[in-house]
Structure 1
Amino acid sequence: MDIEALRSFIAFVDTGSFTRAAKQTFRTQSAISMQMKKLEEDAGQTLFQKNGRYLVLTEQGRLLVSYARRILAMHDEVLGELASHRQHQPIRIGCPDDYAQSILPQFVTLLMQSLPQSSIRIQCDCSTQLRLMLDNGDIDLAILTRSPEKEEGYLLKHDKGVWVHGGFPELIEADELPLVMYEADCKFHSTAIDGLEKQSRRYRLLCATSSATAIKSLLKEGIGISAMARSSVSEGLHKIDEKAQLPALPAVDIVLAVAPIPHPLIGVSMVADLCAKFREINH
């Protein structure tokens, strides 16, 4: 089977979209379709089927996923080993600002233990923008938030959203709940607003930002309350008890996604190993 076709196949599995798979692999959608047709011919099996408007994997397609990941892991490992004696560009890591304190430092420590001679470059942005950067080949790795039912990336940590205040619990009783939130594409933002609407609870969105530092600073000044991942709650912030009857916030997975064309020093095998070590440390 063709390595690049398998890479496109896994890009579709991870993103759930031929459009994003095409962007990530720098191909047209028609080229991706031809690759998938050839892959089905090589496998002698139907790998995709229609489910409403969408294409999903057949049982044979799901079986191929684990083999494809292993084939790519071995391929990338060999190239990485051969490339380890050459000079390379810095490893480019994308990370949402809210995980820059809680997740990023520990992951970078593990990465530098595996690749002590490497240098890194870090780009902080929201998960949506980081996905676009992965698609465009602007970063090599990205720490992202995904819904638990998705298959994107390699699991770093299971997490859950919590409501928090910065030392001003009286804000919870305000007639108009003051909110300081992450941007609208944040899962906690959309769930919180939707939940308050369903409760007919009055609220005012005072601030929306992608900066965790800004949110935490505003909370500590008593500007409002917020919703964030439990792992992002730092010193000076306080979780709001469920007795406050604020809307329930969703569980999420924090994952590490890899560019379809990985950095020469980081194959998917190394990524899987790094994520397993991260989970073990944080068990």
Structure 2
Amino acid sequence: MTNANRPVLNLDLDLLRTFVAVADLNTFAAAAVAVRRTQSAVSQQMQRLEQLIGKELFARHGRNKLLTEHGIQFLGYARKILQFNDEACTSLMYSDIEGALTIGASDDTADTILPYILHRVTSVFPKLSIAVSVKRSPEMLEMLHQGKTDLVITTMNSEVFPHILLRTSPTLWYCAADYQFRPEEPISLVVLDEPSPFRTLALEHLTAAGIPWRIAYVASTLSAVRAAVKAGLGVTVRSVEMMSPGLRVLGEAEGLPRLPETRYFLCKNPHHENELTTAIFSVIGSGNKSYVPPVDASPSSDVKKPPSDTSLKDAI
């Protein structure tokens, strides 16, 4: 019998879940904890999976389980199979739920992360009525605290609120494409008015590095910051989501300090929680890697492409 005539195999979803856990965590021991099985049971499952598909999935390198070429190829399919299975089950489970949902988003997530959150929510809960409010992160968290919104996408993580890490993005120094950066002069900064975590981040890292700075322009909105930077008024700090034509990235080559990554969270308020928000939070938490995309920073003649976001290796 040729390979072309071989019967199609029916893959066991439990085996696939364990395989993905081993691939992500690199050891049978860690995967066993994740899938709530014994280490020997995980080992037996992987042996069964390899026998089923007739290929070696793991290279034998001590305790660490590295994927073979076939393993890497199979991993992508395993993730998609599990994703579609879970989405189908979830969609049927919640398809009849009705209600109103309010989502708050910070300025820099309104056209990047928010659309994919909305797509995920509406695909699972098609009968929901959704209202969206876009404000700065401190305002969003205050609205969440007051119960004026159900969920918030923000860069400011508060331990007070249960949260899901949606993505991790590089944080960069931006200036206009034709900006003349002069390291011998105090850095002219374009910042948001207080409170602003990116403003605080820039000032703290410049001060710690002994680099002189001055506030050249203060704005109340992200669009005003972007406009001022493109006009050549100075340098600003934002996550990679701000990248757009007309901007370029400065960095260590210009003597500027490396910045910590920006983390985006989805938060809820347990004191103003209901069955609907609990279900939505659970759905997003179980599948966030499948719908939050990597940053698309298309290079142009006057744009330096920033480093790509590596936190979402499963994004499609």
Report the TM-score, using the length of structure 2 for normalisation.
Answer: 0.56
CA change 1:237–1:210 in 2 (3 A) is same
- CA separation in 1, counterparts of 2:231 and 2:95? 53
- CA separation in 2, counterparts of 1:221 and 1:263? 46
Aligned to 1:140: 150
1:166 aligns with 2:176: yes
1:241 aligns with 2:241: no
- CA separation in 2, counterparts of 1:111 and 1:209? 33
Matches within 5 A, 1:104-143: 104-143=114-153
Q: Indicate the SS of the match to 2:276.
A: coil
Q: How many residues align?
A: 202
Aligned to 2:200: 190
- CA separation in 2, counterparts of 1:81 and 1:179? 48
Aligned to 1:224: 234
Ranges in structure 1 where 5+ consecutive residues have no aligned partner: 1-76
Matches within 5 A, 1:52-71: none
Aligned to 1:273: 286
Asked whether the equivalents of residues 95 and 126 of structure 2 are also in contact (C-alpha less than 8 Å), the reply is no
CA change 1:81–1:148 in 2 (3 A) is closer
- CA separation in 1, counterparts of 2:115 and 2:221? 17
Asked whether the equivalents of residues 146 and 152 of structure 1 are also in contact (C-alpha less than 8 Å), the reply is no
For residue 234 of structure 1, report the CA deviation from its aligned partner.
Answer: 2.4
Give a deviation string over 1:161-195, Cα, whole Å, max 9, x none: 11011213313446232111234433331121122
CA RMSD of aligned residues (A): 3.0
Ranges in structure 2 where 5+ consecutive residues have no aligned partner: 1-89, 295-311
- CA separation in 1, counterparts of 2:261 and 2:291? 19
Asked whether the equivalents of residues 170 and 261 of structure 2 are also in contact (C-alpha less than 8 Å), the reply is yes
CA change 1:150–1:159 in 2 (3 A) is farther
Amino acid at match of 1:275: N
- Structure scoring higher RCO (CA < 8 A, sep ≥ 6) equals 1
Aligned to 1:256: 266
CA change 1:250–1:185 in 2 (3 A) is farther
Aligned to 1:22: none
- CA separation in 1, counterparts of 2:276 and 2:125? 8
Asked whether the equivalents of residues 101 and 232 of structure 1 are also in contact (C-alpha less than 8 Å), the reply is no
For residue 152 of structure 1, report the CA deviation from its aligned partner.
Answer: 4.8
For residue 208 of structure 1, report the CA deviation from its aligned partner.
Answer: 3.1
Amino acid at match of 2:288: C
Give a deviation string over 1:68-103, Cα, whole Å, max 9, x none: xxxxxxxxx9xx95982x5x33x2111111221221
Percentage of pairs with the same residue: 23
Give a deviation string over 1:203-248, Cα, whole Å, max 9, x none: 2212333522111111111111110012332232211132111132
For residue 125 of structure 1, report the CA deviation from its aligned partner.
Answer: 1.9
- CA separation in 2, counterparts of 1:148 and 1:136? 14
Q: Indicate the SS of the match to 1:168.
A: coil
- CA separation in 2, counterparts of 1:110 and 1:139? 18
Q: Indicate the SS of the match to 1:208.
A: strand
Q: Indicate the SS of the match to 2:121.
A: helix
Matches within 5 A, 1:86-101: 86=98, 88-89=99-100, 91-101=101-111
Moved more, 270-279 or 223-232: 270-279
Asked whether the equivalents of residues 99 and 232 of structure 1 are also in contact (C-alpha less than 8 Å), the reply is no
Aligned to 2:60: none
- CA separation in 2, counterparts of 1:82 and 1:233? 37
Moved more, 260-269 or 161-170: 260-269
CA change 1:269–1:171 in 2 (3 A) is same
Amino acid at match of 2:284: V
